Structure 1
Amino acid sequence: MSIRHVVLSDLHLGARDSLLTHVHGSGEIADGPCEVLAAFANGMRETLADQEKPQLVLLGDALDLGLSPFGDVSKSFLQLLDAFFPADGTDLFDREIIYVAGNHDHHLWRMAQDHGFVSAIAGGQIPGDLDAVTTIFGTPSHRCRMMESLIAHRPHLQDASVRIAYPNWGLHDAGSGRAVVMHHGHYLDGMYRALSHVRGFLGDGDPRPATMRQLEQENGPWIDFLWSDLGSAGEIGGEAGSLYGTMLSAGASHDFAESIARRVTGGLHSRLGIDPKMELKYGVTLDNLIRAAVDLTAGRAAERQRDGYGHVLGEAEIEDIGWYLGKPLAEQMRQELAYTPRELSFIFGHTHKPFQDELLVDGCDVPVGIFNTGGWVLDEPTLMPVQGCAAMLVSDDLEVASLRLFNDPTDGTIAPVRVEGSGRETRLVDEAGEAVERASRHWAEFSRIVHAHIVEEADKRVRQMLDKSNEQLREAAE
């Protein structure tokens, strides 16, 4: 057995709170990979030694376009290339990368949609509309032009490419009946289905879309409007700061939601001449509806995020996963495969809380293996044990295992890198575990470096919070 795919999510390259962004003391993006990224590449290279190079799957929010300037993000992506595909060393992965966009980098999917439409026109066709989604299975036809343009800055990678899929990408084997599907995870979160909630209210229908196409057509513009490229949005981007930091404060998240609602209603009035006070139904005005929708998504989701730092999944999250797998995903798989996979594994990220488990899903004969990648950003200074990061390993016969890289060291220690499965016995867990053990010296060094950076960053944030609090007290006294 060999590892054919390595799945990484939520790298947030370019973000100052990402462990993978290499920043000078002055705050500028540095050249070359940082200590954490270099140590991770060394551990992976030793673990994957003596086997064919696997394909890298970047499962959304790899580029922090949602909150960081495009230039910072671009320079940080080059740091990743230098670690994984060094000019003076051996490639870690196959040179064809699969990219599945998330909420922070949905802009990349929009760019791919636009390019596909323009290319069709140039070829003599006029499509009916933009491609809302891609097929789940097979090599994606869309290319990520921004990332490929950055790759061109490294002449030794002239044959490398980045294929972009959205919102899912997967693998299947008709013989074994196995399938693995990957999705960034934002559509499991009600915050990113805001316009579906609005449609459900106006039409008294089910707010959960029945198909992937409907899900993206309704909510893709909402993600583009607010979440996809705040890093280049000037004043509002600066005000937003870190969404996850905002979520830690009830007052801050309420103010943020109110600010969003004011901008939406103000824009409708000034640009389109639409009166926010116009009545829709039941005495509810457009302004009422927008404020309620934002509160139910951004505001309430912020509350769930704060309350959820102590566990990986709550009841609502489990219900949303069941809906996503059992309805829109199942429908698209049936259309593409003409059969229902006997054994399904589902990989996602977004929550920054890694875990692996099994979940009973309507329509599936056996429990679905659920794997979350966690993330590489430090969301808060008060560390919680459920926060951390993992890389997903997918074998040639579509078994999945989680390479648990780290969790926040709340007790002063950090658990060693290890391989874990969802509960069922697999050869991959055993064999990958042996490979990690052989590379234990490299992984121990990785753990040491990560631990030091987490503690350093946490101390810095606590000092910043104390300084800000003292400043507010001084202003109040004056």
Structure 2
Amino acid sequence: MSIRHVVLSDLHLGARDSLLTHVHGSGEIAEGPSEVLAAFANGMRETLGDDPKPQLVLLGDALDLGLSPFGDVSKSFLQLLDAFYPEGGSDLFEREIIYIAGNHDHHLWRIAQDNGFLSALESGQIPGDLDSVTNIFGTPSHRCRLMESLFNHRPHLTDASVKIAYPNWGLSDNATGRAVVMHHGHYLDGMYRALSNVRGFLGDGNPLPATMRQLEQENGPWIDFLWSDLGSAGEIGNEAGSLYGTMLSAGASHDFAESIARRITGGLHAKLGINPKMELKYGITLDNLIRAGVDLTAGRAAERQRDGYGHVLGEDEIEDIGWYLGTPLANEIRRELPDMPRELSFIFGHTHKPFQDELLVDGYNVPVGIFNTGGWVLDEPTLMPVQGCAAMLVSDELEVASLRLFNDPTDGTIAPVRVEGSGRLSRLVDQASEAVDAASAHWADFSRIVHARIVEEADKRVRQMLDRSNEQVREAAE
């Protein structure tokens, strides 16, 4: 058995609060990998050893296009290439990457859709519309032109390629009856299904889409509008970077939601002549609908985000996972495979809370193995206990193991890097644990560097908060 795929998610390259982005003291993107990134690459090299190189799967939000300019994101991706594919050194992964877009980088899927349509036109065809989704299984046909262009900035990597899938990609093995499916995780979050919810409200129907195509067609434009490309939105895009900070305060998030709603309704009336008080249904006005939608995303979602820092999954999140696996995903698997897999593993990210477990889902014979990658960014001044990061290891026999990289330091120490499974018997967990133990010196260096960076970032944020607080006191006194 060998490790065939390594899955990383929520790298948020280009974001200043990503542990992987290398920046100067002035805040500018630096050359070369950050200490954390270099230490991670060293640990992975020692762990993988001389086995055949695995394929890298980037599971969404690898590029922080939602909050960072394209230039910063591009420079930071080059840092990743220099760590994983060093000139004059040994490649860590195969030179074909699989990229599954998330919410912060959904724009990359939009680019791929456009390129696919243009290619069809150039070949003499006129498709009915853009591709909404890709097949789960098989090598994706769409290319990520942005990343491939960045590979070309390194002359020794001009033969590399990046294939983009959306919103899922997976592997199946008829012989073992196993399958692994990967999805960034944003469609498990009701915040990113807002237009489906509106459709359900207006049509008195089920707001939960039955197919992947319906899910993306209804909500893809909403994701683009909400988070996918704010990094290129100039001054307002820069201000969006403070949204997480706003969400940490109930009062601030309520005021934020009210302000957005007033601006939207006022703009509709002043610029388009649309009366916000016009009735839509059952006495519900356009103003009511807009305020409810904004409150859902910037208000109540903010409260759920704050409450969610204390646990990995709540009842609503478990229900959403059950719906996603049991309805749109199951329908797509039945369409593509002759039989449902005997054993399914599902990998996602998005929440920045790594965990592994098993979940009973209707339509599957045995509990589904659930794996979350966590993330590489600090959403708060410091990590909460459930926040952290993991890399997923997928074997050639489609077993999955979680390489737990870090969580919140407890009592001034950080837990060592280790391998964990979902609970079912796994040869991969045993073999990967032995490999990690053999590379323990490298992983100890990684843990030390990560811990130092977390403490440094926490101190910086506390100073910033105190500075803002002192400034507000001075303004009030004046």
**TM-score between both structures, scaled by the size of structure 1:** 0.98
**Could you tell me which residue of structure 2 aligns to residue 209 of structure 1?**
209
**CA shift for structure 1 position 302:** 1.2
Q: CA deviation at 1:244?
A: 2.8
Q: Does residue 1:31 correspond to 2:35, yes or no?
A: no
Distance 1:474 1:291, change over 3 A: same
Residue pairs, 1:224-243, within 5 angstroms: 224-243=224-243
**Residue 308 of structure 1: CA displacement?**
1.1
- Which residue of structure 2 lines up, in the alignment, with residue 296 of structure 1? 296
What amino acid sits opposite 1:163 in the alignment? K
Residue pairs, 1:420-435, within 5 angstroms: 420-435=420-435
Q: Which aligned segments of 4 or more residues in structure 1 are displaced greater than 6 angstroms?
A: none
Is the CA contact (8 Å cut-off) linking 1:384 and 1:410 kept in structure 2?
no
SS for the counterpart of 1:29 is coil
Match of 1:160 in 2: 160
Q: Secondary structure at the match of 1:112?
A: helix
Q: Give the percent of matched residue pairs that are identical in Structure 1 and Structure 2.
A: 87
The answer to whether the 8 A contact 1:38-1:83 is kept is yes
Aligned to 1:283: 283
- 2: CA distance, partners of 1:472 / 1:19: 30
Moved more, 314-323 or 287-296: 287-296
Structure 1 equivalent of residue 447 of structure 2: 447
Amino acid of the structure 2 residue aligned with 1:369: G
User: 1:401 offset after TM fit, Å?
Assistant: 0.2
Q: Which residue of 1 aligns with 2:57?
A: 57
Give per-residue Cα distances to partners, 1:24-72, cap 9 Å, x unaligned.
0011000000100000000000000110000000000000000001100
Residue range with higher mean Cα deviation, 365-374 or 267-276 = 267-276
Change (3 A) 1:136 1:242: farther
Change (3 A) 1:252 1:340: same
Change (3 A) 1:434 1:142: same
The gaps in structure 2 that reach 5 residues or longer are none
Which whole-Å deviations, capped at 9, do the CAs of 1:311-357 have from their partners, x for residues lacking one?
10001000000000000000000000031111000000000000000
Match of residue 195 from structure 1: 195
Distance 1:268 1:130, change over 3 A: farther
- Tell me the distance in 2 between the aligned counterparts of 1:255 and 1:74: 34
Structure 1, unaligned runs of 5 or more: none
Instruction: Confirm or deny: 8 A CA contact 2:18 2:377 kept in the other structure.
Output: yes
| Equivalent residues of 1:240, 1:256 under 8 A apart | no
Asked whether the 8 Å contact 1:383–1:410 carries over to 2, the reply is: no
CA deviation string 1:278-304 (max 9, x = no partner): 210111111211211221233212111
Q: Which amino acid aligns with 2:137?
A: F
Q: Work out whether residues 195 and 222 of structure 2, in 8 Å CA contact, stay in contact via their aligned partners in 1.
A: yes
* C-alpha distance in structure 2 between counterparts of 1:266 and 1:72, whole Å: 34
**AA aligned opposite 1:89:** G
Letter in 2 for 1:359: L
Matched residue, 1:324? 324
- Give, in angstroms, the shift of residue 242 of structure 1: 4.0
Partner of 1:22: 22
For the Cα contact (< 8 Å) 1:67–1:242, is it kept in 2?
no
Give the structure 1 partner of residue 437 of structure 2. 437
* 1:297-312 equivalences in 2 (<5 Å): 297-312=297-312
| Matched residue, 2:466 | 466
**CA deviation string 1:155-177 (max 9, x = no partner):** 10011000000000000011211
2: CA distance, partners of 1:15 / 1:9:
14
2 CA distance for matches of 1:317 and 1:126?
41
Q: Separation in 2 of the partners of 1:235 and 1:45? A: 41
SS in 1 for 2:201: helix
Distance, in Å, in 2 between the alignment partners of 1:276 and 1:410 is: 51
**Letter paired with 1:444:** A
Provide the rounded CA distance (Å) in 1 between the counterparts of 2:323 and 2:436. Answer: 35
Question: Distance between the aligned counterparts of 2:148 and 2:266, measured in 1?
Answer: 38
Q: How many residue pairs get matched?
A: 478
- After superposing the two structures, state which structure 1 stretch, 293-302 or 88-97, moved more: 293-302
Would the aligned equivalents of 1:194 and 1:294 in 2 still touch at CA under 8 Å?
no
Deviation of the 1:273 alpha carbon: 4.9
Letter in 2 for 1:321: I
Q: TM-score, normalised by structure 2?
A: 0.98
**Which residue is 1:48 aligned to?**
48
Q: Is structure 2 residue 289 aligned with structure 1 residue 254?
A: no
Structure 2 letter corresponding to 1:241: G
Give yes or no for contact 1:391–1:405 (8 Å, CA) kept in 2.
Answer: yes
Q: 1:252 Cα deviation (Å)?
A: 2.6
Kindly state the Cα deviation for residue 240 of structure 1 after the two structures are TM-superposed. Answer: 1.7
